[in-house]
Amino acid sequence: MAKIKPLDDRIVIQVLEGEEKTAGGIFLPQSAKEKPQRGKVVTTGPGKLLDNGKRAKPSVRKGDVVYFARFAGTEVKVSGKEYMIMRESDLLAVEK
């Protein structure tokens, strides 16, 4: 697990690898793969601070698989592992 604690409405995500072959069965070389847009939530911050001083609870939790915008977030390396840190508003969907 990452030794990192996100602030406010930020979320730490472990990026899941992109597809290695196309729907037609063609294997893609590393250079042809698109940037992954899917990841697993590692941890969340306490939530967005509202105008009334309370916090909005994050809508995702540890272990959720999420989809995010292509160029969202910031890549970080912690203890030799790569993660993305992004705001909850950069998330597009949660996999059911």
pLDDT at residue 93 tops 90: yes
Q: Map out the domains of the chain with their CATH numbers.
A: 1-15+35-96 (2.30.33.40)
Token reading at 42: 């590692």
DSSP 83: E
State pTM to two decimals.
0.77
Q: What is the pLDDT of residue 12?
A: 95
Summarize pLDDT for 45-61 with one digit per residue, the tens.
999 999 999 999 999 99
d(CA 56, CA 49): 7
3-state secondary structure of 79: coil
Please give the DSSP secondary-structure letter assigned to residue 23. T
Rounded to whole angstroms, the Cα distance separating 79 from 94 reads 27
Which DSSP symbol is given to 95?
-
